[in-house]
Amino acid sequence: MKLLIRMILLVGVAYALITGYNLWTYGNNLDIPKADAAIVLGAAQWNGQPSPVFEGRLKQGIELYNDDKVDYLVFTGGTSENAVSSEAEVGMNYAMANGVPREDILVENQSLVTRDNVINAKQVATDEGIDSYLLVSDQYHLKRAVELAKSQGMDVTGVPTKYSAYETMETKLPFFLREWVYLMGQEVTGVFSD
């Protein structure tokens, strides 16, 4: 019995370490394919301006558009309590101010969590005949979001933003640990939350 318990613990520790390593390195040395649209996952907006985290994601999405990797940008995120506008609207305004034409922007402004961001963005994009996606977020958030998108039958490649606000170990580590726990929970239970 002790041997069985040790084996289970060993397998659990090995799984956790492999998952952590895969999460830490996800998206490194990525060859970005062409896709129909980039879905830029929402993050906080402050009085109509993107937070540093959201701005990093927006910059990456706009860069993909300018590099002709995508034909459309899909911005996600609803309106949190006391917000002047939705995250998606802030993303749209930021992109337009940076030269992206309105006709190449789709907006999903109902969701407040990753799961709903992805599901609602797919619906908005499908209505426009879009089949393939690049999914833009911060590196440690991306693997979980891509798995969620693939569970919805989406043809998707994750693209971590080069402009992440998570620059120091002091900011990276708590974000990584939180996403590591979420990812393991998602993979073990098959339940896609947040």
Q: Following CA atoms 127, 114, 133, 175 in sequence, which dihedral angle do they give, to the nearest 10 degrees? A: 170
* pLDDT grade for 4, boundaries at 50, 70 and 90: confident
Kindly report the backbone phi and psi dihedral angles of residue 41, in degrees, each rounded to the nearest multiple of 5, phi listed first.
Answer: -70, 135
Q: What digits encode the pLDDT tens for the residues 170-190? A: 988 999 999 999 989 888 887
In one-letter notation, the amino acid at residue 135 is L
Indicate if the pLDDT at residue 98 is higher than 90: yes
Q: Are 27 and 160 in contact (CB under 8 A)?
A: yes
Kindly report the backbone phi and psi dihedral angles of residue 157, in degrees, each rounded to the nearest multiple of 5, phi listed first.
Answer: -125, 130
Q: What digits encode the pLDDT tens for the residues 37-79? A: 999 999 988 888 999 999 999 999 999 999 999 999 999 998 8
Q: Give the closest residue to 126 by CA, choosing from 143, 145, 106, 110.
A: 106
Q: What digits encode the pLDDT tens for the residues 121-130? A: 999 999 899 9
Distance CA 52, CA 168 (A): 14
Indicate the DSSP class of residue 159. E
Distance CA 49, CA 73 (A): 18
List, in order of start, the domains of the chain with CATH numbers: 32-188 (3.40.50.620)
* pLDDT grade for 193, boundaries at 50, 70 and 90: low
